Amino acid sequence: MLPGRPFPRGKARFLLAFFGICHDLSIMNMQSDPLHTLASQRVDGEGRLAVRHTAGRPRTWELFQRGAAKIRLPKPLDDGAMEAVLINTAGGLTGGDRLSWSVEAGEGCSVTVTTQASEKAYRSGSGLADVSVQLDVGRGARLAWLPQETILFDASALRRRIDARLQPGARLLLAEATVFGRSARGETVERGLFADRWRISVGGRLVHAEDFRFGPAIAATLATPAVLDRAVAIATVLLVDDGAELLLDQGREIVGAEGGVSHWTVSGSGKLLARLYAADGYLLRKRLMPLLELLNGEARLPKAWSL
């Protein structure tokens, strides 16, 4: 067609009809073609770390990383203790994602595990985000599982399972903090699902078990005076150690009125359990950090917590 010459009306109508038919056919082909019905990409990550005494000092025995699960090992501390930093390179979790961590502290070793940043559970289109943790602590070993907070977003769905197996004489410090929306950013969690399952055994005998669940009406549950009375940040801290009772009074002073600390002897093992709650994540940290420093003894908090 020459420049400036009008486009024939009949030809224009034909082309519009033709390309309209082609567009409809392409949509039909996409719907029937299995190559165009691919499932959304999901996180499927696994990280394993084992530390054992060899040649007179603790060394990395196994380090395995797959998918979005990464493990970084800063230099060993002056006392020979090792620190591991867990990273989810996907930046968060949503429905259908799976993340698995396994940490072993061999006999006589000291290992502290934390995360590079807070884990985030985003809105789930379908299914649950699933996180599993396996901890093994050898005789006379110390393991501190101290990840930073898990932040839940509205309509998220997260299931977490923690299993720990301790040999007699082992020491375990286990802490998990959860924030239901970041108050400073005006975020709230109206609906969703959060399930947390812990199983801790010493010498093959169960010493601690809990199943914690919120949902689907999370905001309404949090607002209940008998639950959290509108608080949105919570933490559970468990110390399994024969000398745990000696820290009970100091722990209660730190936790204060917004929470509680108790001690039991179960199957010959000392167990100190603390639960904290606060109006937001910052206020929770103000008490959680000194509590962890107290319970972690000579091993200081990981540097990631101070960033």
The pTM score is 0.85
Residue 211 scores a pLDDT above 90:
yes
Q: Where are the alpha helices (DSSP H) in the chain?
A: 9-32, 218-223, 248-255, 281-295
In a domain, 6, yes or no: no
In this structure, the strands spanning 82-88 and 129-137 are unpaired
Enclosing domain of residue 51: 44-306
In a domain, 57, yes or no: yes
Q: Which residues of 7-22 are buried (b: 16+ CB within 10 A; e: fewer)?
A: eeeeeeeeeeeeeeee
Query: Is the separation of the CB atoms in 274 and 291 below 8 Å?
Result: yes
Position 77 scores a pLDDT of 66
In a domain, 290, yes or no: yes
User: Which three-class secondary structure state does DSSP give residue 124?
Assistant: coil
- In tens, the pLDDT along 145-200 reads 999 999 999 999 999 999 999 999 999 999 999 999 988 888 899 999 999 999 99
Distance, CA of 301 to CA of 97 (rounded, Å): 29
- In tens, the pLDDT along 74-119 reads 877 666 789 999 999 999 999 999 999 999 999 999 999 999 999 9
In a domain, 35, yes or no: no
In a domain, 36, yes or no: no
Whether the ω angle into residue 216 lies within 30 degrees of 0, i.e. cis, is yes
In a domain, 12, yes or no: no
Q: Structurally, how many domains does the chain consist of?
A: 1
Sign of CA dihedral 132, 163, 109, 204: negative
In a domain, 38, yes or no: no
Proportion of the chain above pLDDT 70, given as a percent: 86
- In tens, the pLDDT along 148-158 reads 999 999 999 99
In a domain, 186, yes or no: yes
